[in-house]
Amino acid sequence: MFTGIVEELGKILFITKNKLTVEAYKVTEDAKIGDSIAVNGVCLTVTKINSNGFDADISPETSKVTTLGKLKNGSFVNLERALPADGRFGGHIVSGHIDGIGKICILQKDGDFYNLVLEISENESKYVVKKGSITVNGISLTVAEIDGETVKIAIIPHTFENTNLKELKAGDYVNIETDIISKYVEKFLSTRDNNTGISMQFLRENGF
């Protein structure tokens, strides 16, 4: 499990369709082979520790459903180690399992902050709510507005400068993970799995 708080900006030294080598220092301080590290929000397993980073394998499915297949040598990636049991929970619950790919429509400075507008699929947008959490390239962010499949997010300067958002522009694609809690709620309320009598209609009728 991760929190969406990026620890380090790594650099792709080598990448193929099934393997990558990342230049990194902080996230490998206590890393072991078999550990999990989120790379742009994608949970990958460390297969080798190098003097200046680590190696990880990329499965065909991971390459298909994430933006890892679009990375090149020299690309910068957001890195986060898995949360230890005694770690500080700074963001929100992030599994590292990407739901889909979003497209950046707008990424521009607005005063001291930055406006990020994303286009996501209907399958992801149904799990996104105003003031709720969303993970973009492994970054835990708060949704400012949601209109259909368009998501607006206000980015603070610290987040912009310390993640690969500063390397991106309109037209680029990013990994999206929606809040896992909403998925559990949906499953709990489904007629197939729910034996409590609580339904979406029940919640609406009772003011929820």
Tell me, what CATH number does 130's domain have?
Answer: 2.40.30.20
Residues 128 and 61 in one domain: no
- Give the distance, in angstroms, between the CA of residue 151 and the centroid of all CA atoms in the same chain: 14
- 109 in Cβ contact with 33 (< 8 Å): no
Reported in sequence order, the residue ranges of 76-157 that DSSP labels E, i.e. its strands, are 76-81, 100-110, 113-119, 133-136, 139-147, 150-155
Residue 87 in domain:
no
Query: What is residue 49's predicted lDDT score, i.e. its pLDDT?
Result: 97
Residues 125 and 68 in one domain: no
pLDDT at 208 over 60: no
Average pLDDT, the chain: 91
Residues 108 and 162 in one domain: yes
Residues 75 and 108 in one domain: no
Residues 67 and 27 in one domain: yes
Pick from 130, 127, 175, 183: which is nearest to 152 by CA? 130
Query: What is residue 191's predicted lDDT score, i.e. its pLDDT?
Result: 57
Residue 54 in domain:
yes
pLDDT at 11 over 70: yes
Query: What is residue 207's predicted lDDT score, i.e. its pLDDT?
Result: 60
83, 94, 184, 193 from 187: Cα distances, Å: 26, 18, 5, 7
Residues 55 and 28 in one domain: yes
Query: What is residue 86's predicted lDDT score, i.e. its pLDDT?
Result: 74
Domain coverage including residue 116: 100-184
Q: What DSSP line would sit under 49-92, residue for residue?
A: EETTEEEEE--HHHHHHSSGGG--TT-EEEEEEPPPTT----S-
Per-residue pLDDT band for 120 (boundaries 50, 70, 90) equals very high
H helices, E strands: number in the chain: 5, 12
Residues 129 and 63 in one domain: no
Residue 114 in domain:
yes
Picking from 14-28, 51-65, 176-190, 192-206, which range would have the lowest pLDDT averaged per residue?
A: 192-206
Instruction: Please tell me the total count of domains within the chain.
Output: 2
Residues 129 and 72 in one domain: no
pLDDT at 27 over 70: yes
Chosen domain end from 54, 81, 108: 81
Where is 125: in which H helix or E strand?
helix 122-125
Chosen domain end from 81, 115, 146: 81
Query: What is residue 85's predicted lDDT score, i.e. its pLDDT?
Result: 75
Helix (H, G, I), strand (E, B) or coil at 134: strand
Residues 63 and 110 in one domain: no
Residue 1 in domain:
no
Residue 92 in domain:
no
